[in-house]
Structure 1
Amino acid sequence: MKDGRNYRLPIEAEWEYACRAGTDMPFAFGKCLSADQANYDGTYPFSGCSKGKYRRSTVSAASFTPNAWGLYDMQGNVWEWCQDWYGDYPSGAVTDPIGSNSGSRRVSRGGGWYGHAGLCRSANRNENSPVYRSSDFGFRLVLPAGQQ
């Protein structure tokens, strides 16, 4: 980027923390995620939740209400790449975990327009080859503290 700051992909723990926005529910908006809150295949809702619209493509950023911290589209629309290589979580409680430094598949989070609501859960994670490309994949950049 031209502004000279060092942006990067979020690590998986940062991504989930930002997505949850202080909540401990399946979604940043509560127990259910409606197709009025995120872009996903609303014909396949999360368990016990209502069906909704299926838009069949990405939508413009900020088309839905942001989470409690003002972050848009953390759930649905496009899967977001994370910096971490995919691997098993460590056993036991870990504060601010950092993923493996090597691997063959990267973590992606958030779910996309092409998937069901369960894939959009705050805790859901996926793995893909770093060369994978799809219309329901994208990224979000992080500007580390002190570089604002």
Structure 2
Amino acid sequence: MLVPGGEFWMGAAEDEPDSQDSERPRHLVQMSRFLMGRYPVTQAQWKAVTGLEKEEIDLNPDPSRFKGDHRPVEQVSWFEAVEFCQRLSAQTSREYGLPSEAEWEYACRAGAETPYHFGEKITTEIVNYYDNDSKREYRGETTPVNYFGVANALGLCDMHGNVDEWCQDHWHENYKEAPTHGIAWLTSNQNTIRILRGGSWYTEPRACRSAARYNSSPDNRSYNFGFRVVCRAPGTLP
């Protein structure tokens, strides 16, 4: 899906419920346009790309705990997600990669400044996440992409819940001195911990907010870790 250029306020306001200091200071970011996968990468897509020629590391064609061609792939490390993007780039001659943290939040919000792109509150009727309210359904596993048929204003689905999504950036404790042009915030140490966004079937509502951010070692795999890809938009697109 085409994500047009623009600007947005990245991070959480001081009064946003369940927000963390790591999500501040809220800051204005200028964004260039890009393309983003409508859904997290599915297991069928993963299997197809793992059959392509290796770039740097081997990939397990079937790593997921919760099986299903239309479910998001999980138990994929950051390094493996990058290898997937490298193989896809080599096959298509287009520049695929993981989104920067700013690209992810900008795309997730789709112009909204509320905690979720659809409003202030979350419900298990439209998002797959953990809720300790016994009156609400807890699925305990991933669901097929677009299971709820809910997209944001850009047509992107599953931006909240289902699987946490890897981003390019290295982890920083807060947004002091963060880039303001949408690029990934990187340091010289390529093995430093990386960013995860969006929350998952395993996490509570606060972790599914548009501004919520978490981290993990880039070699870590978990049954709630997945990813989606971005592609730099060619200049001929409107």
TM-score interval (norm. to shorter): 0.7 to 0.9
Partner in structure 2 of residue 124 of structure 1: 212
Aligned counterparts of 1:21 and 1:38: Cα–Cα separation in 2: 17
**Counterpart for residue 147 of structure 2:** 63
> RMSD of the alignment, in Å?
2.1
Give the corresponding residue for 1:23: 112
- What is the identity, as a one-letter code, of the residue corresponding to 1:37? I
**2:230 is the counterpart of 1:145:** no
Provide the aligned length of Structure 1 versus Structure 2.
Answer: 143
TM-score (norm. length: structure 1): 0.87
Matched AA of 1:80? E
TM-score, normalization by structure 2:
0.56
Structure 1 77/56 Cα, relative in aligned 2: closer, same or farther at 3 Å?
A: same
Q: Could you tell me how far apart the structure 1 residues matched to 2:103 and 2:210 are?
A: 12
| Residue from 221, 226, 230 that aligns with 1:133 | 221
- Asked if the contact 1:85–1:105 (Cα under 8 Å) also holds between the matched residues in 2, the reply is yes
Q: Give the drift of 1:36.
A: 1.4
> C-alpha separation between the residues in 1 aligned to 2:175 and 2:207?
22
Shift of 1:100: 2.5
2:143, 2:95 → 1: CA distance?
28
1:6 Cα deviation after fit: 1.7
Q: What does residue 48 of structure 1 align with? A: none
* Whole-angstrom distance in 2 between the partners of 1:59 and 1:90: 32
Identify, as 1 or 2, the structure richer in helix: 2
For structure 1, list consecutive stretches of 5 or more residues without a partner in the other structure: 45-50
Partner of 1:32: 121
Amino acid at match of 1:29: F
Q: CA deviation at 1:123?
A: 0.3
